[in-house]
Structure 1
Amino acid sequence: MKKYIFLIACCLLTLTSYSQRQSLTSQEQDSLNIWQLAKYDGASALGGLFHAYSRPIHWDGDDWATFGFVAGGTALLYFVDDETSEFFRNQEDSSPTILKEFGERFGSPQVTYGITGSVYLFGLFTKNEPVRETGVLLISSATAVGLIQTVLKTTVGRSRPQNNEGKFAFKPFSGEAGFRSFPSGHTILSFTTAYAISKQFDNPWVKAGIYTVGMISPISRIVNGAHWLTDVALSIAISVVTVDAIDNYLNAKKRYPGEDDRKKGITWNINFGVGSMGIVGRF
């Protein structure tokens, strides 16, 4: 175990040293060999990971307003968790088997990291900068949300709907499989993958199609009684915030300058008015 810890520490120190270097131009990156590119991309992924975790410290008024909006919306959904769970679970027998199987598989760590790894390796060996950046965004985001959901599942210890103990049942730090409802790991991994990939497209219809695929796992998990609606809603919020934070880091640091001219993602704004409040997304 000590040897593994030592190797991990050495890797982190190496990647950290690379992350401190000035970002390379597209031409400079093209001149690097595969191993050098992999180290550069590893540093980018590690920097994005640290950036995502440190963002709450630097939140401004708009960020806290968004946090309040998400918290308030989740609180409202909590009131109807029992009713929505019952409704979705009643649809299980009539739900297409193929969608349930797809939802189960697409949100699994094996499939998620299979997709992220394949995208990145293709970009690395072909030296395709846009694909490499997408792969780095996918890997860094999946790792960040994966660690978050692992910690929260254990510490929160929320009972799954299928336990039939109600939405107020919690056993923090119990480690029991039936008390790992929040957050939804399948939702976090599947929607993180879909959201990160969707950022590479400008067409809103393409984005909508990718989002739809990313929502199959979350919905299927509610249908089979593994998670509450609030579990899924907050998991999606975690995915969006994490991917956006890492994507902004890669852009701000100009880690992949060849993508500067490409429009990235959707810009979300919260609008407040007299007797009204809403979210506006600009594609």
Structure 2
Amino acid sequence: MTVGISRRTSYCSPATACAAAFVGAIPARLILLLFLMLCCSTLFPSQLHAGENLFNSGAAIKEELGRLGSEGKLFLKAPVDPYLVQTGAAAGLIAVAYIFDKQLSSNGSRHGVLRGITDAGSDASNPFLHLGIAATVYTAGAASGNAGVMDLGEEMGEALVLADSATFVLKGAVGRGRPYQTESKSSFRPFHFEGGYDSLPSMHTASSFALAHVAASHSESWSSKFACYAAAGLAGFSRVYQGKHWASDVLIGAAIGELAGDAVTRYRALQPGKVSVAPTAIGGTPALALVGKF
């Protein structure tokens, strides 16, 4: 079965979308990833040509920066509007994880099959690898004139910029000690920028969930969506299992990544002239509202 990877006319398999998000750092796997990307852009050509892109147009760069700024606003507002209830639920889950962080931290021997799996999961969740994947997807789309692949690369890159920037700022501001640095889950040195005191939140997890959201949004298969999020979940589990993060670090990272991916896909869904109907309330009376960009 094939599924659409864009809202235009090009198509790519769900497996390719997930592979593009979570391929391992092992060279052979990276080569396979590049091969799949090229196949996606050549075997399923778009009827639309990309034309101007970030490599040949100042206008395209300006448009991208403007779009990223608008997505950033949605990202910052999202915990309150429209996801206030979900934010409360997530905060409760994170609070419980914080209470049991010490018990959930890994202190085992870490060997055998599970170690190999978590090693692969940790390697595949490298934020720099993800940025390289997004750049490769975008380049493949621009080079082949495949607008759908280029859009996918853009969305990946935008979600990663939002997620990675947020986690980078919070890491330094919070200054939480990593499990291998301190035995206390409550060791904080805010704004000290010391090695080993940048545990919260997990950037590997945030980056993985940002890509998972984008990849899943381009698939119509529930099994593919589940695979994307399962891979992101493995990334988070790997960071805890290997003693790189506390469990609450990972949950906060997952929330940030999901909000970043959602901000990108939600903004893209609000194309000029495209409207949708959403429930609302006016003076306590249930009503319907038209949502869109005009």
Q: Normalised by the size of structure 2, how large is the TM-score?
A: 0.69
1:181 — aligned with what?
Answer: 199
Change in Cα spacing, 1:166 to 1:96, as seen in structure 2 (3 Å) is same
Summarize the Cα distance change of 1:208–1:44 in structure 2 as closer, same or farther, 3 Å threshold.
Answer: farther
Cα distance in 1, alignment partners of residues 224 and 182 from structure 2:
39
Q: For the structure 1 residues 184 and 240, does the alpha-carbon distance in structure 2 shift closer, same or farther, using more than 3 Å as the test? A: same
Give unmatched runs, 5+ long, in structure 1.
1-25, 261-283
| Other structure's SS at 1:162 match | coil
User: Are 1:212 and 2:237 counterparts?
Assistant: no
Cα deviation code 1:77-133 (max 9, x no counterpart):
211111111xx4326234534323322322223311121111111111222222111
Number of positions where the alignment pairs a residue of Structure 1 with one of Structure 2: 229
Shift of residue 172, structure 1, vs aligned partner: 0.6
> Partners of 1:174 and 1:146 in 2: how far apart?
20
Which one has the bigger helix percentage? 1
Q: For 2:100 and 2:69, locate their aligned partners in 1 and report how far apart those are by CA, in whole Å.
A: 36
Letter in 1 for 2:89: F
Is 2:161 aligned against 1:151?
A: no
The residue number in structure 1 matching 2:126 is 108
1:241 CA drift (Å): 0.8
1:11 aligns with: none
Query: Which amino acid is the alignment partner of residue 170 of structure 2?
Result: L
* Structure 2 residue identity aligned to 1:71: A
| Pairing partner for 1:161 from 153, 161, 179 | 179
**Structure 1 residue 69, shift from structure 2 partner:** 1.7
2:70 aligned counterpart, secondary structure: helix
Name the CA distance, whole Å, in 2 between partners of 1:144 and 1:160.
23
Per-residue CA deviations over 1:198-236 (Å, capped at 9, x if unaligned) read 211011111111222222221111011110111101111
Match 1:74 to one of 94, 99, 111? 94
Distance 2:253 2:206 in 1: 5
Match for 1:136 among 154, 157, 167? 154
One-letter amino acid of the structure 1 residue matched with residue 97 of structure 2: L
Q: Which residue in 2 is equivalent to 1:65?
A: 85
- The 1:174/1:31 distance shift into structure 2, 3 A limit, reads closer
* 8 A Cα contact 2:177 2:198, kept in partner: yes
- Superposed, which structure 2 residues align to 1:200-279 within 5 Å? 200-253=218-271
User: Deviation string for 1:228-266 (max 9, x for gaps)?
Assistant: 1111011111111111111111221359x9xx9xxxxxx
1:191: how far off? 2.2
How much does 1:41 deviate?
Answer: 5.2
Residue type at the aligned position of 1:32: G
| 1:195 maps onto 2:213 in alignment | yes
- In 2, are the aligned partners of 1:91 and 1:223 still within 8 Å (CA)? no
Q: Secondary structure at the match of 2:180?
A: helix
**C-alpha distance in structure 1 between counterparts of 2:81 and 2:160, whole Å:** 27
Q: Which letter does structure 1 place at the counterpart of 2:85?
A: A
When residues 98 and 252 of structure 1 are mapped into structure 2, their CA distance, relative to the original with a 3 A threshold, is same
Q: Percent identity?
A: 26
SS at structure 1 position matched to 2:83: helix
